[in-house]
Amino acid sequence: MSSRDRILGRVQRALADVPQDDTPYEQAIPRDYLREHGARRVAETVDLLAENLADYRALVHRCAAGELPTVIAGLLADRKATSVLVPPGLDEDWLAATEVTRVADRPESTPQELDRVDSVVTACAVAVAETGTIVLDGGPDQGRRRVTLVPDHHICVVRVPDQVVSSVPQALERLDPTRALTWISGPSATSDIELDRVEGVHGPRTLEVVLVESGSGPDDPC
Amino acid sequence: MSGTYLGMPAFPVAAHEAVANETLRGNLRHATHTIRAKRAKAVAEVSDWAELREAGKRIKDHTLRHLDRYLEQLEASVTAAGGTVHWAADADEANRIVADLVKETGESEVVKVKSMATQEIGLNEALEAEGIHAYETDLAELIVQLGKDRPSHILVPAIHRNRGEIRDIFRSEMGEWGRPAPEGLTDTPAELAEAARLHLREKFLRAKVGISGANFMVAETGTLVVVESEGNGRMCLTLPETLISVVGIEKIVPTWRDLEVFLQTLPRSSTAERMNPYTSMWTGTTDGDGPQNFHLVLLDNGRTDTLADEVGRQALRCIRCSACLNVCPVYERAGGHAYGSVYPGPIGAILSPQLRGTQSAIDASLPYASSLCGACYEVCPVAIDIPEVLVHLRERVAEGGEVVREGNKVVLQPAKGHAAERAAMRAARWAFTHPGALRGGQRLASRTRRLHPRSLPGPGRAWSGTRDLPALPAEPFRDWWQRTHGSKGAAK
């Protein structure tokens, strides 16, 4: 007998008490928890995102669409970055104001090569205000998972308010489970020394999030 | 479970030594009190905590009640997404599967994400015996591995170590394993974290095989989820060419949507954060991104035996947050090692004796490693009634009876050493079914109360050694009731 059959057989015998007509999944789970916590105007949701990102030590910057290239160039300059990883589908305009050497993540690039790059600039798939989280789904403007992992400095651009949701349930609705997803809430951290949080272990130790107002008016009514 | 724990003394013996260690007690008190207050604050932020907790409980219960169906669905989803699924009935089989998969790659070292399942099966030791070095990459696991120590907490395995001890371990041991600790390393947490970053960096960058567990597996989509803080998880899940995940069969949730509950309750319960720094989700393999070979090893190792117990099976709802450890007065004083298992604290006291059976001295003693105060139940994000299961397991130890071991029904004999307990229970049963005798006994006890000793003689001494005997009233309740309400009762 294969172990698969053995385990499934054990499970079935263990569940002899469960009736054939046991409550189906749809009715077994009460879904009376909230879809989001509190009522907020769109602008307030964006403010909450900025606040929660900063609370977990991400550096938050806000700007209008036209200012984005200058802001990114400034962040790279402040960091004294000489090279920046660029996902294949990143909007070329975003890096229009910087002279820093662009590095592409080719399939044959080794992790050691990526480790020599100073910074990485990406977009994101969605951002969650209540938890201060950005989610990457490996889209062309975000690149492979490793590009946002190995360099020590990650600049992530969030288009607000379009890419911002309030809550975790709303974020999951927007995401495609077949893609490799990375949820990021602040820079790498640990609670392993005396259960107290310290920032900066293996992932990027500096996370900068740029909230860029997408085209239309910044303060649309809810 | 791991051979490391075979022959552990019973909990009271091990705990007796632990409580005498003042450094250990200080470290544990500091850490658990720090996290307790933070967790309460993080939970208070969400007004629907009770509803989320109930939903989490029901999702897990429903899954367990139909586990065969969801396991088959998960296998199909993972396979369709490019992964390979293996089934392991016990620890030895899981270790063999993993060792063979590593050997197939031709590699002799692997990097590991912190994983309770691989701790439970003693994977590192099994791989070492096959000439494969497994490097732990979680900071606390690294501290335990470098210190040739055992884990003492689910979330923070090195919780029993303070910063000074960690610095000493890094200074003396890191050089043996790779890059030595930086010169002049101090005990500030930021410097210690930096030392771990430097030490492990070269290992991550050259790793060809990664080994992980998973917090959740979604049956509907075949998605695995790893929740972490440091980025070591992302390194192990992303950079290697081959990824092997060893996951207990109870880690399934039916649908993608179900994650919306646990991604809210787990971080707040474990590290008291709104969200942990990194959560990785992957479904099979992704072309050109991350490991191109993905193996999922589904682990039983006592879980189906636990599932067969209608009261005890709720322990399989556990999402390993460790909130119950952090609030437990017994854990705070005895520490994790006394529990003789990778699963310490209240959840360990009900999980270990079910996964391993109650035959050994340590497992038979674990259901008693509690004052039944119920703080664990109150903080549990999936509402496991730990006191209920503790009492249930005490009954099993004292009375014996039918249980399932490795898929077979066996009848346990009552454990030795509980004769006095059984005699007391029999006497109580007799007294409560003979009202005349009970009344006579109560009156006699009340009238002689000035003569009662402060502690019990004989076998009762162990019980009264740590407890005050209850003070008896001058008049039994039933006599008082008869005297003050007797006529009214009769008039009705």
pLDDT at B8: 78
Give the residue from B469, B471, B474 showing the smallest Cα distance to B443.
B474
Give the residue from B14, B57, B10, B118 showing the smallest Cα distance to B314.
B57
**Tens-digit pLDDT profile for residues B98-154:** 999 999 999 999 999 999 999 999 999 999 999 999 999 999 999 999 999 999 999
pLDDT at A217: 45
The secondary structure of B122-141 as a DSSP string is THHHHHHHTT-EEEE-SHHH
pLDDT at B100: 98
Four-residue CA torsion sign, B207, B209, B213, B214: positive
The answer to whether residue A161 is domain-embedded is yes
The answer to whether residue B376 is domain-embedded is no
**Interface residue B168 vs chain A (CB under 8 A):** no
The answer to whether residue B461 is domain-embedded is yes
Cα of B238 to nearest chain A Cα, Å: 6
The answer to whether residue B332 is domain-embedded is no
What does the alpha-carbon distance between residue B303 and residue B301 come to, in Å, rounded to a whole number?
A: 6
The answer to whether residue A1 is domain-embedded is no
pLDDT at B465: 80
| Three-state DSSP class for residue A150 | coil
> ipTM higher than 0.90?
yes
Taking 70 as the pLDDT cut, the residues of chain A under it are: 215-222
Taking 70 as the pLDDT cut, the residues of chain B under it are: 1-6, 488-492
**Interface residue A116 vs chain B (CB under 8 A):** no
**Minimal-distance CA residue of chain A relative to B141:** A192
What does the alpha-carbon distance between residue B319 and residue B268 come to, in Å, rounded to a whole number?
A: 12
Indicate whether B146 and B282 sit together in one domain: yes
The answer to whether residue B212 is domain-embedded is yes
Domain range for residue A130?
40-213
Give the residue from B310, B386, B318, B400 showing the smallest Cα distance to B358.
B400
User: b/e for B309-344, b at 16 or more Cβ within 10 A?
Assistant: beebbbbbbbbbbbbbbbbbebbbebbbbbbbbbbb
E strand map for B164-290: 209-212, 216-218, 223-228, 242-248, 252-253, 278-283
What residues form DSSP beta bridges with B296?
B85, B245
- Report CB contact under 8 Å: B232, A202: yes
What does the alpha-carbon distance between residue B277 and residue B232 come to, in Å, rounded to a whole number?
A: 11
pLDDT at B169: 96
pLDDT at B1: 42
φ/ψ region of B134 (left if φ > 0, alpha if ψ in -120 to 50, else beta) reads beta
The answer to whether residue A22 is domain-embedded is no
Amino acid code (one letter) for B124: N
The answer to whether residue A3 is domain-embedded is no
Instruction: Tell me the chain B residues in contact with residue A33 when contact means C-beta distances shorter than 8 Å.
Output: 48, 51-52, 55, 261
Residues 122 through 141 of chain B touching chain A, CB cutoff 8 Å: 137-140
The answer to whether residue A31 is domain-embedded is no
| Three-state DSSP class for residue B351 | helix
- Report CB contact under 8 Å: B281, A183: yes
Instruction: Tell me the chain B residues in contact with residue A15 when contact means C-beta distances shorter than 8 Å.
Output: 65-68, 307
Number of domains present in the structure of chain A:
1
The answer to whether residue A8 is domain-embedded is no
The answer to whether residue B102 is domain-embedded is yes
The answer to whether residue A9 is domain-embedded is no
Residues 61 through 90 of chain A touching chain B, CB cutoff 8 Å: none
Domain range for residue B446?
420-491
B290 contact partners, CB below 8 Å, separation of at least 6: A144, A145, A146, A180, B237, B238, B243, B282
Q: Residue A137's domain is classified under what CATH number?
A: 3.40.50.10420
The answer to whether residue A5 is domain-embedded is no
Percentages helix, strand, coil for chain B (3-state, rounded to 5) are: 55, 10, 30
* Helix axis angle, B189-206 to B139-146, nearest 10°: 90
What residues form DSSP beta bridges with A207?
A154
pTM: 0.93
Number of domains present in the structure of chain B:
2
- Report CB contact under 8 Å: B286, A180: yes
Give the CA distances from residue B301 to residues A3, A75, B120, B437, in Å, rounded to whole numbers and listed in that order: 11, 52, 9, 50
Instruction: Tell me the chain A residues in contact with residue B231 when contact means C-beta distances shorter than 8 Å.
Output: 149, 188, 201-204
The answer to whether residue B91 is domain-embedded is yes
The answer to whether residue B143 is domain-embedded is yes
What does the alpha-carbon distance between residue B302 and residue B403 come to, in Å, rounded to a whole number?
A: 12
**Interface residue A106 vs chain B (CB under 8 A):** no
Task: Specify the DSSP class assigned to residue B180.
Answer: P
Q: Does residue B247 contact residue B120 with C-beta atoms inside 8 Å?
A: no
Q: Residue B220's domain is classified under what CATH number?
A: 3.40.50.10420
Give the residue from B103, B446, B140 showing the smallest Cα distance to B271.
B140
β-pairing verdict for B278-283 and B223-228: antiparallel
The answer to whether residue B85 is domain-embedded is yes
Q: Does residue A53 contact residue A60 with C-beta atoms inside 8 Å?
A: yes
Give the residue from A172, A200, A74 showing the smallest Cα distance to B192.
A200
**Residue from B289, B300, B382 to probe the interface with A (highest A Cβ count within 10 Å):** B289
**Tens-digit pLDDT profile for residues A124-171:** 999 999 999 999 999 999 999 999 999 999 999 999 999 999 999 999
| Three-state DSSP class for residue B7 | coil
What residues form DSSP beta bridges with B402?
B411
**Interface residue A93 vs chain B (CB under 8 A):** no
Q: Where among B278, B299, B320 does a domain terminate?
A: B299
